[in-house]
Amino acid sequence: MKLRYITFVLAASTLASQPLMCQSEPDSRHLTSTAIVPSDRIVANMSASELETRADQLRAAKEYVDAYDLYRAALAKNPNSAVLYNKLGINELMSLHLRQAKSDFEHALHLNRQFASAYNNLGVLEYALKKYRGAIKDYEKAIHLEENATYYSNLGAAYFSKNNFPKATEAYSKAVEIDPDVFNNSTRAGITGQIASPEDRAHFSYVLAELYAQQGFADRSLECLRRALEEGYKHADDAHSDPAFAQLRNDPRFIALMSKRPSAISD
C-alpha cells in the first residue's frame, strides 16, 4: 500500500514537520534499545510482563520483526491485554503492516472501550491513509477520555490537512496550553507525518509562532517565526499587525528578524 507524502520515523518532530504520535501504555521511551532476542527456551519460561518489556526494547531499537514475535508470545500468556494489542499495533504501524495494525488497535478497543491511547493510534493510522475525517473522530474520542497534548496536536494535524485552519489552530492552542513542549519534545517515540508542501509547512510554522506568542513563550515564538520566514511564508508581513504578536512587536529580536529576514530555504 503506497502512502504518498507520509514518512514514518522514530523520534522527534521538528518545526518543519507536524508530529503524529502513537502512544503505548506504559510509555517505552525510558527503555534501553540494546535488547537481546531470547532463545525459544528462555521465552517459554518468561512471564507475559517480561516478554512485553523485552518487546518494548526491541521496538525501540527498530527490531520490529523480533518485537512482533515477543508481543505475540506475551499475548499467548495474557490474551486479554488491551495494552499488549495496542503495543503490537504500534509495532505493526511502524513496520508498515497497516491492515494488521488496524486490527490490533480495534482488538485493543474491543477489550477496553475506554482506552484513549488506542483511539489516538487508530487516528494516526487513519491520518496516514489520508482518511482525515475518520482520524478526527478517533482523536476526538481519545480527547473525550483523556485531555492529552499529543491527542490535541494530532487533531490539529488532521484539521490542518483538511485546510480547516481555525479548527487546527484551536486544537494546537489546546496542545500548547497542556504541554508547551509538545511540538519539540525530542524524547517521545512516535510517528511523524511530514506536511506535504513547503507552503503548508511555512503556514504551520507561522501558526505555531502565533500560538507561542499568545502563551507568552517569546523565544519559541521567534524561533517558529524565523522558521516560517526561512520556509518562505507569503504572508509574513501580517506579523506587523497580527494581534498575536502584540507583546512581541517591541522586542528588539522581533524587529531585527522582520527587518533582516532570513533567506527562504528551498527543499
Q: Which residues contact 191 (CB under 8 A, 6 or more apart)?
A: 8, 9, 20, 21, 22, 93, 94, 124, 128
Q: What is the pLDDT of residue 135?
A: 95
For the chain, the maximum distance between any two Cα atoms, rounded to a whole number of angstroms, is 68
Q: How does pLDDT run across 86-124, given as a tens digit for each residue?
A: 999 999 999 999 999 999 999 999 999 999 999 999 999
pLDDT at residue 25, rounded to an integer: 55
Confidence (pLDDT) at 100: 96
> Rounded distance, CA 106 to CA 88, Å?
11
Could you tell me how many residues make up the chain? 267
3-state secondary structure of 18: strand
Local structure of residue 245 (DSSP, 8 states): G
The rounded distance, in Å, linking the Cα atoms of 187 and 185 is: 6
Contact 22, 124 (CB under 8 A): yes
pLDDT of residue 54: 93
Domain boundaries, the chain: 24-112, 197-267
Closest CA to 73 of 32, 42, 111, 30: 42
Q: Which residue is associated with the grid cell 482520524?
A: 135
Cβ pair 236, 259 in contact under 8 A? no
Q: Which pLDDT does position 184 carry in this prediction?
A: 72
Residue 120: helix, strand or coil by DSSP?
A: helix
Please tell me the distance from the alpha carbon of residue 82 to that of residue 25, in angstroms, as a whole number. Answer: 9
Which residues in the chain come in under a pLDDT of 70?
Answer: 1-35, 185-197, 262-267
Distance from C-alpha of 197 to C-alpha of 195, rounded to nearest angstrom: 6
Domain made up of 24-112: CATH architecture: Alpha Horseshoe (1.25)
Looking at residue 15, its pLDDT comes to 27
pLDDT for 239 = 92
**Whether the Cβ atoms of residue 159 and residue 167 lie closer than 8 Å to each other:** yes
Amino acid 263: pLDDT: 62
